[in-house]
Amino acid sequence: MDTPAGDLGALLRAWRDRLSPVDVGLPAGDQRRAAGLRREELAALAGLSVDYVVRLEQGRAQHPSAQVAAALARALQLSDAERDHLFVLAGLVPPSPATVPEHVPPGVQRLIARLGETPLAVFTASWDLLSYSPLWGRLFGEPVGEGGERPNLLRSWFGGTGAITPGERVEHGRDGGIRAFEASLVADLRRVHGRYPGDPRVRRLMDDMTAVSDTFRELWSTGAVGEHVSERKVIRHPVVGDVELDCDVLTVAGTDLRLVAYTAATGSPAAAALDFLRVSAVTADAR
């Protein structure tokens, strides 16, 4: 599929210019010649090289992969229609409504940026990690995917990668503890598979976890269907010790995205622990 030369690059520049640094969690600064994002900032947000962003904007690269297009759409906080247009200009088929949505709406991205002092993360319906606040990374460690895959909560838990929430770090407060948590995740995945039966990534996740985890296989065989919900957890952190937090799972209407937030009551020992992690992160960044 051919696209008019320069259209993609011009739109990327226009979308970058209209986005405020504050909306992506960056300081506005006093030395900016323009109000929008710099190329290096967009590159960092999208996980791309600055050189590749330059080549896209100059029209020397016009056919990014679907993964790159999706990353640019999230970094630029595009609407669904704008994201679809970006895919078309890149010679790609826009994401199908039959697959698990991965696009994070602009309002949700602004929410993450402005609540950056809360451990907050955004997951797809099938629990791929899309975005997270700095304090989330301080609480759980920086998540890393395997083999180019996004970090996934079920792969982390049942596959033993520890990519998001290492099992030894978390004590679950719901009745039944870890076993109830695991059963809830598996029942939730079955519900998602019913909602998106044609999504190959969901099918691959189910097959992979069945192959590597006896626990997953046993829980899947029960046929239980449910929704993973909020609970209280104790996080065993290597620096601040045990931190008891409320973990709330919120669903974004129309997207099936999950917002997972960890909070503590004001004045509690857990709130003091989060404050320490927050301040230590700022101190480390300032060095």
Q: Examine residue 100 and state whether it is found in any structural domain, yes or no.
A: no
Summarised one tens digit per residue, pLDDT across range 39-94 is 999 999 888 999 999 999 998 888 899 889 988 998 898 988 899 999 999 999 88
221 and 277 fall within a common domain: yes
Cα dihedral sign for 154, 116, 106, 147? negative
**Integer Rg of the chain from CA:** 20
Q: Examine residue 94 and state whether it is found in any structural domain, yes or no.
A: no
Beta carbons within 10 angstroms of residue 253's beta carbon: 8
Q: Examine residue 101 and state whether it is found in any structural domain, yes or no.
A: no
Q: How far is CA 160 from CA 46, 146, 156, in A?
A: 27, 12, 5
Token match 């937030």: residue? 261
Q: Token pair for residue 106? A: 């602009």
68 and 192 fall within a common domain: no
**Total count of domains within the chain:** 2
156 and 65 fall within a common domain: no
Summarised one tens digit per residue, pLDDT across range 180-199 is 889 999 999 999 999 999 89
60 and 116 fall within a common domain: no
Nearest to 220 by CA among 249, 195, 185, 192: 185
Which amino acid, residue 76? L
Residues 6+ apart with CB under 8 A from 96: none
Q: Examine residue 280 and state whether it is found in any structural domain, yes or no.
A: yes
Nearest to 274 by CA among 74, 163, 136: 136
Q: Which domain holds residue 19?
A: 7-89
**Average pLDDT for 254-270:** 91
Q: Examine residue 179 and state whether it is found in any structural domain, yes or no.
A: yes
What is the predicted pLDDT for the residue at 29? 62
Domain boundary among 89, 117, 133: 89
Report whether pLDDT(284) > 60: no
DSSP SS3 for 232? strand
152 and 253 fall within a common domain: yes
Report the CATH number at residue 114: 3.30.450.180
149 and 79 fall within a common domain: no
131 and 37 fall within a common domain: no
Summarised one tens digit per residue, pLDDT across range 7-44 is 889 899 999 998 888 878 777 665 666 678 889 999 99
